[in-house]
Structure 1
Amino acid sequence: MRDLIWLIIVLLIIGWVVGYSFFPNLGSIIHILIVIAVILILYKLLTGRRL
């Protein structure tokens, strides 16, 4: 189950990179993906769960 968070984070980052590269006109929507990924990483770090 802990690997599921990392899978979501990786998918969000890949989606952000692909979206930023191919659809630059959707800037705000694409950057929301990276913000969600960063929030998930911070949540994992702050809750003290094993990475």
Structure 2
Amino acid sequence: MLKWSVIFLIVALVAGIFGFFNIVAAAATIAKVLFFIFLVLFVISLFTGRSRNL
């Protein structure tokens, strides 16, 4: 999922260079949402992984 977040970030940067501002806004929003979903799942996996080892 982090890979998709980086891909959408790169799409947003390239679209911003060429002046496609609608695409920039959409790609940046998708990248942010995917990154925060990845972050939440990562934190959850850290806590669940620790509880199994105790």
Query: TM-score, normalised to structure 1's length?
Result: 0.67
Q: Tell me, in whole angstroms, the C-alpha distance in 2 between the residues paired with 1:37 and 1:9.
A: 4
* Structure 1 outlier segments of 4+, above 6 Å: none
1:31 pairs with one of 18, 25, 28: 25
Q: How many residues align?
A: 44
Query: TM-score, normalised to structure 2's length?
Result: 0.64
Cα distance, 1:28 vs structure 2: 1.7
Which structure has greater helix proportion? 2
Any conservation in 1 of the 2:15–2:23 contact (CA below 8 Å)? no
Q: Deviations over 1:4-29 (max 9, x none)?
A: x111111111111111002x1x2122
> 2:52 is matched with which residue?
none
**Aligned sequence identity (%):** 20
Question: Which of the pair has more CA radius of gyration?
Answer: 2
